[in-house]
Amino acid sequence: MNKPVAVDVENAAPVAAPETALPGTSSTSPPSAGPAYVVLGGISFSHFLNDTMQSLIPSVYPILKANYALDFAQIGLITLAFQFTASLLQPVIGAFTDKRPQPFSLAIGMSSTFLGLLLLSIAHSYAVILIAAAMIGLGSAVFHPESARIARLASGGRFGMAQSVFQVGGNAGTALGPLLAALIVVPFGQPSIAWFSTIAFLAILVLWRIGVWYKPLVAARKVVAKPHPHAPGRRRVLAALVVLVALLFSKHMYMASLSSYYTFYLIEKFHVSTQTAQLFLFIFLASVAAGVFFGGPLGDRFGRRYVIWFSILGALPFTLALPYVGLTASAVLTMFIGFILASATSAIIVFAQELVPHRLGMISGLFFGFAFGIGGVGAAALGEFADRYGIDVVYQICSFLPALGLLAVLLPRMPRHAH
């Protein structure tokens, strides 16, 4: 059996490298310093499976809207039900696991997603749809804080890279969801959602194996870090967290406008079919996954402040142009928007973790939870707005949100080792 990662309590960087094989697998190569790639791959794959299932919810909105005669406000409330449970519980769960890490909580939490998918597939009323969405959100609330901690522990000190590997799995799953919906759910209807519960079962198995790897670290109390002695003071840290939250707001509010209503925008403005609109959504979400992948390593290399600055403000020219272009240009612009905005994801999360390294679970849960909450509240608010003023107006107003990227100039410079 391979040795677990030993983590320096002072700086959370590995001091003895792990074998890259999970317990129960074989590896004859000698230990070498660096990330535990198999663990990172496993947690990223689990994130991929988790977010593939989650992305089914917005992907089947056109079907649910037609089957139950829903308006845009009701569609937004489905997103709110899903995002609210994820957003509300994530920081609570993260704070709890900071004090009492739970190695197998990830596998147990995935069971809620498993049951939520089955319930969504057989739902025959709007209330049951809301309950199913909330159960899937609960699974997400359990998954994200502890899995982000595991990604950092397995990083070998390359925190941005590890967070990007973790995040890109989720974004790839988010991108794949609409494509699977177009190929499976649209032709076979709402009951076919139950087929995706097999994905949840696979995720449970993978997460259980990761829990076996993680358990010795918990027993050895190797999962807590202390702030760097040259880190910013308490007030500066609080101010920086407020800035990061504002940047996250601008990013995810705009992302909510695309992930929840982009298909309706294309159908209404360009009269494309539902399947075609979902393919365009897949293109956007795939560009998001690519942006996440490159954002973390660039933050490790050049500094996270610069990546955050570019990734939020850099999308502004493209978002301003989007409401006024044709179908092909819309696809091209959303590719740039998705790539540039998503490159901030890993940098924001890791920057926040480095500001408060002794509260990794709480910080990860807070930021993931806030992102989910903004997505949910934003979707509900934008849905109501779209019902009143039209979907075109939504994108005209949201196009100015990336201007909040100017706030990145207020972020403190972190100790050099953090990059």
Residue corresponding to tokens 């997603």: 113
Please tell me the predicted confidence (pLDDT) of residue 373: 66
Please tell me the predicted confidence (pLDDT) of residue 347: 84
DSSP 406: G
Who contacts 209 (Cβ-Cβ below 8 Å, separation ≥6)? 22, 23, 24, 42
Q: Comparing C-alpha atoms, which of 35, 48, 39, 140 is closest to residue 85?
A: 140
pLDDT class of 375 with cuts at 50, 70, 90: low
pLDDT class of 63 with cuts at 50, 70, 90: confident
Sign of dihedral through CA atoms 106, 367, 320, 263? positive
Q: Region 335-344: what's the mean pLDDT?
A: 90
Please tell me the predicted confidence (pLDDT) of residue 400: 93
Q: Region 364-388: what's the mean pLDDT?
A: 75
Q: Comparing C-alpha atoms, which of 200, 223, 193 is closest to residue 107?
A: 200
- Angle made by CA atoms 251, 338, 176, in degrees to the nearest 5: 115
Q: Which of 13-27, 72-86, 322-336 has the lowest mean pLDDT?
A: 13-27
Please tell me the predicted confidence (pLDDT) of residue 215: 84
pLDDT class of 221 with cuts at 50, 70, 90: low
Parse the chain into domains and list their residue ranges: 36-414
Q: What percent of the chain has pLDDT over 70?
A: 85
Please tell me the predicted confidence (pLDDT) of residue 11: 40
Domain 36-414 fold: Growth Hormone; Chain: A; (1.20.1250)
β-strand partners of 14: 7
Higher pLDDT, 8 or 174: 174
Please tell me the predicted confidence (pLDDT) of residue 99: 79
Diameter of the chain by CA atoms?
A: 64
Q: Which of 113-122, 152-161, 366-375 has the lowest mean pLDDT?
A: 366-375
pLDDT at 21 over 60: no
Q: Region 389-396: what's the mean pLDDT?
A: 88
pLDDT at 297 over 80: yes
pLDDT class of 23 with cuts at 50, 70, 90: very low
Please tell me the predicted confidence (pLDDT) of residue 224: 52
The pair of structure tokens assigned to 74 is 């009701």
DSSP 18: P
CA–CA distances in Å: residue 11 to residues 195, 238, 353: 44, 20, 12
Q: For the residues of 190-237, what is the DSSP string, one character each?
A: GGGGGGGHHHHHHHHHHHHHHHHHHHHHHHTT-S-----TTSPPHHHH
pLDDT at 28 over 60: no
The pair of structure tokens assigned to 11 is 């700086």
Q: Alpha carbon 144 to chain centroid distance? A: 8
103-134 pLDDT, tens digit per residue, is 888 888 899 999 999 998 888 889 999 999 99
Q: Is the pTM of this model over 0.75?
A: no
Q: Region 290-305: what's the mean pLDDT?
A: 81
Q: Region 74-101: what's the mean pLDDT?
A: 80
Q: Region 368-385: what's the mean pLDDT?
A: 74
Q: Region 369-379: what's the mean pLDDT?
A: 69
Beta strands 6-7 and 14-16: pairing type? antiparallel
The pair of structure tokens assigned to 81 is 């039900």
